[in-house]
Amino acid sequence: MATATISATKQKHVDIKRNDTVKVITGRDAGKEGRVLRIFPKTSRILVEHVSMVKKHVRPNPQRNIKGGIAEQETPVSISNVMLVCKQCGPTRVGHDSRGAKKVRTCKKCGTTLD
C-alpha cells in the first residue's frame, strides 16, 4: 500500500495576536467577546479573558495567603472558534496588506488596518 507522507506538524499561521479582541462564534461561550491573553500556536488554541471558564477547587494555603474555595480559570479555545473583532465593524476575517516593507493585518470588510 502506497502512503503519502503529509507533515502534520507544520505550524499554521495564526492571525491573532496577544491583546486582540476576539468574539467567540461557536461553543458554550458563543457570542462572548474578550481579550486574548495567550496564544498556543502548536495547538492552534488561544486563551481569551473570561471565556471558557472552568471552576477549580483550591485548597487554602495560609503560607502563600491563598484562601480555599472555588476559583475560576480560563481554558484555551480553538482559534477556529473565534473571530477577530474589528473596531469599526465588528467580528471579521483577517486580510493582509503591505505598507511598504511592513506586512499588516486588515479587516476584510472595511479595510481598516488592525495592527
Q: Point out which residues bind Zn ion (CB under 5 A).
A: 86, 88-89, 107, 109-110, 112
Burial class for 34, CB neighbours closer than 10 Å (0-12, 13-18, 19+): buried
Residue closer to Zn ion (CB basis): 79 or 83? 83
Q: How far is the CB of 106 from Zn ion (least distance, A)?
A: 8
CA 23 to centroid of chain Cα atoms = 9
Distances (CA, A) of 27 to 49, 56, 75: 15, 20, 13
Residue closer to Zn ion (CB basis): 47 or 82? 82
Q: How far is the CB of 20 from Zn ion (least distance, A)?
A: 13
Residue closer to Zn ion (CB basis): 81 or 92? 92
Q: How far is the CB of 91 from Zn ion (least distance, A)?
A: 9
Core vs surface per residue 61-89: b (16+ CB within 10 A) or e: eeeeeeeeeeeeebebbebebbbbbbeee
Q: How far is the CB of 36 from Zn ion (least distance, A)?
A: 18
Residue closer to Zn ion (CB basis): 82 or 86? 86
